[in-house]
Chain A
Amino acid sequence: MTLLLIVALFLPLFPLSVVLNGAMGLLREPVLRCLLLLAWPQLGVMLLQLAAQAVPPYVVPWALATAGFYALRLLTVRDMGQWAGFLATSALALTWALAAGGADRAELHAFAFWFSLPPALVALLARPLARRFGAAYAGLQGGLIAGLPRLSGMLALTVLAAVATPPFPGFFALLNLLQMLDWTGALAVLAIWLVWGWAATRLLQGFLFGAERAVAFVDIGRASALVYAGVLGGFAIAGLMLTGWRL
């Protein structure tokens, strides 16, 4: 039981989830945030495998409640780093539901990865924004799409990947999860997914659209954009391969 509680720190369940989000708040450096988001859930899955105990049935509603709570919190958060943290918390909590459904170790690691890589990339994108505007805060620096098309494009794609839109793997992983849940659980996950989409729209609206900025800023370099696009492209291909498609 103790081990399960420890796992709940890494595959965050409320209120233990405050640890991950507290850490995200304390770490101001986007690279560290990115690394934390990538490593943290993998540790959780490893620990979960060590626990010689099945996931108790009450954990699934707890996980869904956590995911729902953080999805709703996403709607009010404007700091991009924290947004990435909350989204990861909301998504990673669903790992418990997958584990309760009998998923094997590889599936759990993959699920955690599919839902931690895009938020990690979102957290990383806070860096060029903060460098240009002082902070990556939605609503303060609107209208990026006109002046910074490459950064805007990357931001939009990464956020879409983060909220499990097709063809990114999160979408297919979510479909897999839906099959393992009963209809109430599936409905809850669909509602959570809907709120993620809403939150993503609000976030993108706060950055990309709005009045054009009077002061011009330099866009991210072509190479950075290509690297980012490559990662996202690879991620999308991985998602398609989940459906059985082969190169």
Chain B
Amino acid sequence: MLALGRRLKIRTLVHVAGEPIPFFWPMRTFIHHNPLYGLEHLPFEQAVAMGERLFRARGYLSRALQQRHLAAGKLDRTALERQVADFLASQPDIAGLDLQRLLMTLLTEIETPVGAPPALADAVDIHAALNGFALPSREIGGAALAVQVGADMLPGRPLHAIVDMLFGTEIGATLDELVIKSCLDFFDEGQSVWQMPGREKGLFAAWSAVARRNLRLFIRGLHIKRILAVDDTPEGIISHVMDELGVPEDDWMNHFTCELTRLHGWAGFIRWRAGAKHYHWARHYPADLVDYLAIRLVLGLALLREHAERKGTPAKLAELAHFVESNPAEAYLRREFHGGHVLPEMAHAVEDAIAARRPARIARLLPQYLARKREHEARHHAAALRRLATCAGMADAPQHLVPADVASLTDMLARFEREEGGIWLEALEAHYLGRLLHGLDLTWPTPREKRPFAQVMFCIDVRSERIRRHLEKVGDYQTFGIAGFFGVPVSFIGLEKGSETHLCPVVASPKNVVLELAIARSAADEAFVSTLEQVFHELKASVLSPFITVEAIGLLFGLDMFGKSLAPLAYARWRQRLHPDKPDSRLLLDKLSREQAESIIRSLQRALIVKAVGRELGIQREAITDEMIRELRETALGNHAGATGFARAFRLDPEAETRFIECLQKVYRINRGYAQIQLERLGRIGFTLDEQVHFVGQALRSIGLVDGFSRFVLLAGHGSTSENNPYESALDCGACGGNHGITNARVLAQIANKPAVRARLREQGIAIPDDSWFVPAFHNTTTDELRVYDLDLLPPSHLVYTERLNNGLQAASRLCAAERMVTLEEAVAASGEHADPASAYRLARRNAMDWSQVRPEWGLARNAAFVIGRRHVTGQLDLEGRVFLHSYDYRCDPRGRLLENILAGPLVVGQWINMEHYFSAVDNAHYGSGSKAYHNIAGRFGVMTGNLSDLRTGLPAQTVLKDGAPYHEPLRLLTVIEAPIAHARAAIEGVVKIRNLVHNGWLRMAVVDPETHVAHVFEDGAWRQRPLHAAGGAVEEKELAL
């Protein structure tokens, strides 16, 4: 057994090694997040480069795609030229070449990158190729070849990956497959009918118990048992395997990171789960990265040993090093062939030579191969240079270069192509920034003569922008943007739900519980349909029942299939009629007094005793009295000793009575300890009056709504509805933790309508008139429907206006659908710029019901900016549903605290959403989750591609791509704050997270000063000012001396 200190050290190493891996939340509550969150401490460019290494993923769009953006006018060419000039400022001049023109040509006219300098051919060779000379003869020694092989044997790279590269084995793929199967077994959340045994002992313990008896692994020649016999703990096993592999301890952390990032979806899920203390499955079946890594290493070592026995491949690092040193030629050719670098025309010869493993044959082939490869590289590179020079109008220039200049040019081009992604990105951003700043209106509106008909608070979500615009257009509506949880973090227990759902951004943890209670519910509401559905579901999930019931009930499933496929809208309407309506409910929002809480617990305990008496002893309620129940309760709680009246009445002997009391205490949990726990839980329910006043006041002040309240103040939470869509919650409200926002809207509305709260707010200077009523509403972003809730609470004086309210909301919904359907449906787009609102609205609702629809809505795709300021600033702009809009009036926030809150909460969530979209669009195969068409649900918490893959993280192709090209324009979130520069800068510097994001280039930040009408943009590490409304890129800039 390993010493405690050593075990702790290994645990620490594993946890630090796992830090670059982003969390993966269960998809029931999809959380948008930055896939490089663990690298946010680094500047953006460095993090992207690190991401490329760790996750084998691209961090920028390809040049070809950016050239399409340039052709479509989405890119600022001037910015591109400026970036190229900045790059060249630190590069040596090359005589005879106009480097600025050359690089601009490379960027804008050449689709294929020139590439890194060749591995074998040097500048002299390229020079010869450029001039059409024969290449000078040169011998390449074994040491040089070993260096080339060594370049792929970086410290920390797992041994199995190097063996795969040199011997064409597929140990890595097999290992991944075995690890995924183990994870699927352990982490299953009810999808499998047969569960893995012993899960409560933890991942490693449960897996090792099964693996020791796994006949399939044994038959494959994997002697897991021998490895597991060394130690019982995962830390001990990790140490043993690393020693067996011969990995120096200094490299362990790199090695661990490489192993963990190989299946970063699973590792991210385990990492999140280990820290999610409230997560039911984690509490019952614990697991962490140490367990996971131990399993990976055991299987990896077993596979390496099996291959070593069968194929003679190295099973230790030292053996591998020895092989490369003693057989550099063979190692080189192996790397060429299995690493995908081989010259195609010689692939067959190389494969035959390395398969024969005869040194003489390899020695014969090698010089021939090296000569041809060197020639191929030199000519290929020379051709690329010549093509570039010709396009740039300098066709003859490369031939006149001396070899030293060729070397400089080759190196410089390679450096430039490494930095090219960032250059394109900044040019794309510069274009959008210029357009957005140009359209902002910083004037002050003339005061209104009368209050608006209604004020509507929407989530800051980009999808709200469209419907706000249309609502403002169709009537006298004033709209505001606020984070969709309305500033009230809630832990919600819904009707008939036993667990809490956190309705707030994941960066916050709610302290208060809100309970939903049905107003009335009768036994008749127990729907027959629901019971039937339950039976159907169990029949489907069972192993044997599908075989024996398919003839009997298969037709019913067929009906379901035809209905959903052929007439989704009508069929969904018919099915909804079968279900009983959800009962009206109220939210328990006020704190309970101690007496109330104790009374609730007493009542609960009494109900349980009645149930226990019936179930355990078969005695009906009518046979016992309240006094007997009270006495049994007191006895179970230890407040009463001796025989009970109940025992006497039913002639229970003392032993049977004691047994029953113990049953009450242990099974039904009627005991003091549990009563105390229940009391504490009840203490979390509701908000104190102070909290209620604080939440309402803060929400109103943060959006600048402190006077001029309308008759209706709508709080519109949002969510989505779609069928057969594991990503449904990705379309829900991010500020509500990936849930619908209606509950938070109901909570705030219910609080804001309380006279006691309004009285206290009036003392704080926020006078809400008595005829103002806060009404919760729900914005369905898939259908564009705006539905008003809790109308039964509306004062009678308001009822006459509801028709007008509903009309206005519906008109806005239809107009919004008409605008949106053009982007979703090719047929609508082809029919003209705008679709008929009524049919577009119907089409949107159909999309929500259609189970074959892979793209029910675009969600947050194309998000580009986050504006914090008055609605007046953006009110005249069509922002195309691309901008998060947070209402803010700096005049209501003299100390900047509200702005800091906006930056620390909503903006951080916005940045996560933005980065998730950015990386999913840039490399959907690695940072995104690929096509939905191939997805399968894994364990009820994630999706895999096909039947076995890493958990797919990020967004599916259908969310960010259209016809294979990015629909989402990958830009870093451009944040614009409307406030005096000093005020805004103080807030930015005051929120460390935001300051770091801005300084490291993860967020673009601009401040527009309504007092000076000057924009301040943070660029290249400093604030630069530029006048607003300057045309395009021809803006005068000067660095601020701040």
List A residues at the B interface (Cβ < 8 Å). Answer: 78-79, 82, 130, 133-135, 137, 140-141, 211-212, 214-216
B344 and A79 contact, CB distance less than 8 A: no
| Given A134-B344, A135-B344, A135-B345; 16 other pairs, CB 8 A cutoff | A78-B351, A79-B347, A79-B348, A133-B344, A134-B343, A135-B347, A137-B344, A137-B347, A137-B348, A140-B344, A141-B344, A212-B925, A214-B62, A215-B112, A216-B64, A216-B112
Interface presence of B788 (CB below 8 A): no
Which residue of chain A is the closest to B113 with respect to CB atoms?
A: A214
Interface presence of B340 (CB below 8 A): yes
Chain B residues contacting A212 (CB-CB under 8 Å) are 925
Interface presence of B342 (CB below 8 A): yes
Chain B residues contacting A216 (CB-CB under 8 Å) are 64, 111-112
Tell me the bound Cα distance from A82 to B925 in angstroms.
Answer: 34
A-B pairs, 5 with minimum CB distance: A134-B344, A135-B344, A137-B347, A134-B345, A79-B348
Tell me the bound Cα distance from A212 to B925 in angstroms.
Answer: 10
List B residues at the A interface (Cβ < 8 Å). Answer: 62, 64, 111-112, 340, 342-345, 347-348, 351, 925
Chain A residues contacting B340 (CB-CB under 8 Å) are 140
Total A-B Cβ pairs within 8 A: 31
Is the contact region of chain A dominated by helix, strand, or loop, or is it mixed? loop
For this complex, 24 residue pairs linking A to B, each with C-beta atoms less than 8 Å apart, are A78-B347, A78-B351, A79-B347, A79-B348, A82-B348, A133-B344, A134-B343, A134-B344, A134-B345, A135-B345, A135-B347, A135-B348, A137-B344, A137-B347, A137-B348, A140-B340, A140-B344, A141-B344, A211-B925, A212-B925, A214-B62, A216-B64, A216-B111, A216-B112
Chain A residues contacting B111 (CB-CB under 8 Å) are 216
Chain B residues contacting A78 (CB-CB under 8 Å) are 347-348, 351
Chain B residues contacting A133 (CB-CB under 8 Å) are 344
Which of A78, A133, A134, A211 has the largest number of chain B CB atoms within 10 A? A134
Tell me the bound Cα distance from A149 to B64 in angstroms.
Answer: 19
Distance of A149 from chain B, by nearest CB (Å): 12
Tell me the bound Cα distance from A78 to B337 in angstroms.
Answer: 12
Distance of B468 from chain A, by nearest CB (Å): 40
A140 and B64 contact, CB distance less than 8 A: no
Chain B residues contacting A141 (CB-CB under 8 Å) are 344
Which of B111, B348, B925 has the largest number of chain A CB atoms within 10 A? B348
Tell me the bound Cα distance from A137 to B157 in angstroms.
Answer: 28
Tell me the bound Cα distance from A216 to B112 in angstroms.
Answer: 8
Distance of B105 from chain A, by nearest CB (Å): 19
Tell me the bound Cα distance from A140 to B348 in angstroms.
Answer: 11
Distance of A135 from chain B, by nearest CB (Å): 4
Chain A residues contacting B112 (CB-CB under 8 Å) are 215-216
Tell me the bound Cα distance from A135 to B345 in angstroms.
Answer: 5
Distance of B84 from chain A, by nearest CB (Å): 23
Which residue of chain A is the closest to B346 with respect to CB atoms?
A: A135
Which residue of chain B is the closest to A129 with respect to CB atoms?
A: B344
Chain A residues contacting B344 (CB-CB under 8 Å) are 130, 133-135, 137, 140-141
Chain A residues contacting B345 (CB-CB under 8 Å) are 130, 134-135
Tell me the bound Cα distance from A238 to B111 in angstroms.
Answer: 45
Chain B residues contacting A137 (CB-CB under 8 Å) are 344, 347-348
Tell me the bound Cα distance from A79 to B346 in angstroms.
Answer: 11
Chain B residues contacting A82 (CB-CB under 8 Å) are 348
Distance of B369 from chain A, by nearest CB (Å): 13
Distance of B318 from chain A, by nearest CB (Å): 30
Distance of A127 from chain B, by nearest CB (Å): 13
Tell me the bound Cα distance from A25 to B112 in angstroms.
Answer: 34
Distance of A7 from chain B, by nearest CB (Å): 30
Tell me the bound Cα distance from A130 to B346 in angstroms.
Answer: 12
Distance of B122 from chain A, by nearest CB (Å): 22
Distance of B977 from chain A, by nearest CB (Å): 40
Chain A residues contacting B348 (CB-CB under 8 Å) are 78-79, 82, 135, 137
Chain A residues contacting B62 (CB-CB under 8 Å) are 214
Chain B residues contacting A214 (CB-CB under 8 Å) are 62
Distance of B821 from chain A, by nearest CB (Å): 29
Chain A residues contacting B342 (CB-CB under 8 Å) are 140
Distance of A130 from chain B, by nearest CB (Å): 8
Which residue of chain A is the closest to B337 with respect to CB atoms?
A: A140
Which residue of chain A is the closest to B64 with respect to CB atoms?
A: A216
Tell me the bound Cα distance from A215 to B114 in angstroms.
Answer: 11
Distance of A15 from chain B, by nearest CB (Å): 19
Chain A residues contacting B351 (CB-CB under 8 Å) are 78
Chain B residues contacting A135 (CB-CB under 8 Å) are 344-345, 347-348
Tell me the bound Cα distance from A144 to B815 in angstroms.
Answer: 44
Tell me the bound Cα distance from A215 to B111 in angstroms.
Answer: 9
Tell me the bound Cα distance from A215 to B62 in angstroms.
Answer: 11
Tell me the bound Cα distance from A214 to B111 in angstroms.
Answer: 10
Which residue of chain A is the closest to B347 with respect to CB atoms?
A: A137
Chain B residues contacting A134 (CB-CB under 8 Å) are 343-345
Distance of B64 from chain A, by nearest CB (Å): 7
Tell me the bound Cα distance from A70 to B161 in angstroms.
Answer: 32
Tell me the bound Cα distance from A212 to B964 in angstroms.
Answer: 12
Chain A residues contacting B64 (CB-CB under 8 Å) are 216
Distance of B227 from chain A, by nearest CB (Å): 32
Chain A residues contacting B343 (CB-CB under 8 Å) are 134
Distance of A211 from chain B, by nearest CB (Å): 8
Tell me the bound Cα distance from A141 to B111 in angstroms.
Answer: 20
Tell me the bound Cα distance from A215 to B384 in angstroms.
Answer: 13
Which of A78, A79, A140 has the largest number of chain B CB atoms within 10 A? A140
Tell me the bound Cα distance from A141 to B340 in angstroms.
Answer: 9
Which residue of chain A is the closest to B348 with respect to CB atoms?
A: A79
Tell me the bound Cα distance from A7 to B343 in angstroms.
Answer: 38
Which residue of chain A is the closest to B343 with respect to CB atoms?
A: A134
Tell me the bound Cα distance from A161 to B1008 in angstroms.
Answer: 68
Which residue of chain A is the closest to B376 with respect to CB atoms?
A: A134
Which residue of chain A is the closest to B56 with respect to CB atoms?
A: A211
Distance of A196 from chain B, by nearest CB (Å): 21
Tell me the bound Cα distance from A82 to B351 in angstroms.
Answer: 14
Tell me the bound Cα distance from A212 to B926 in angstroms.
Answer: 12
Which residue of chain B is the closest to A136 with respect to CB atoms?
A: B344
Which residue of chain B is the closest to A82 with respect to CB atoms?
A: B348
Chain B residues contacting A130 (CB-CB under 8 Å) are 344-345
Distance of B247 from chain A, by nearest CB (Å): 29
Chain B residues contacting A140 (CB-CB under 8 Å) are 340, 342, 344, 347
Distance of A102 from chain B, by nearest CB (Å): 41
Tell me the bound Cα distance from A167 to B608 in angstroms.
Answer: 70
Distance of B352 from chain A, by nearest CB (Å): 10
Tell me the bound Cα distance from A137 to B336 in angstroms.
Answer: 14
Distance of B273 from chain A, by nearest CB (Å): 30
Tell me the bound Cα distance from A78 to B345 in angstroms.
Answer: 12
Distance of A18 from chain B, by nearest CB (Å): 15
Tell me the bound Cα distance from A135 to B340 in angstroms.
Answer: 13
Tell me the bound Cα distance from A214 to B114 in angstroms.
Answer: 12
Tell me the bound Cα distance from A137 to B64 in angstroms.
Answer: 27
Tell me the bound Cα distance from A123 to B64 in angstroms.
Answer: 33
Which residue of chain A is the closest to B341 with respect to CB atoms?
A: A140
Distance of A202 from chain B, by nearest CB (Å): 13
Distance of B68 from chain A, by nearest CB (Å): 13
Tell me the bound Cα distance from A212 to B345 in angstroms.
Answer: 21
Distance of A66 from chain B, by nearest CB (Å): 22
Chain A residues contacting B925 (CB-CB under 8 Å) are 211-212
Tell me the bound Cα distance from A140 to B112 in angstroms.
Answer: 19
Distance of A217 from chain B, by nearest CB (Å): 10
Tell me the bound Cα distance from A247 to B587 in angstroms.
Answer: 74
Tell me the bound Cα distance from A216 to B351 in angstroms.
Answer: 26
Tell me the bound Cα distance from A79 to B344 in angstroms.
Answer: 10
Distance of B59 from chain A, by nearest CB (Å): 15
Which residue of chain A is the closest to B964 with respect to CB atoms?
A: A146
Distance of A205 from chain B, by nearest CB (Å): 13
Which residue of chain A is the closest to B342 with respect to CB atoms?
A: A140
Distance of B274 from chain A, by nearest CB (Å): 32
Tell me the bound Cα distance from A134 to B344 in angstroms.
Answer: 5
Tell me the bound Cα distance from A130 to B62 in angstroms.
Answer: 26
Tell me the bound Cα distance from A3 to B52 in angstroms.
Answer: 65
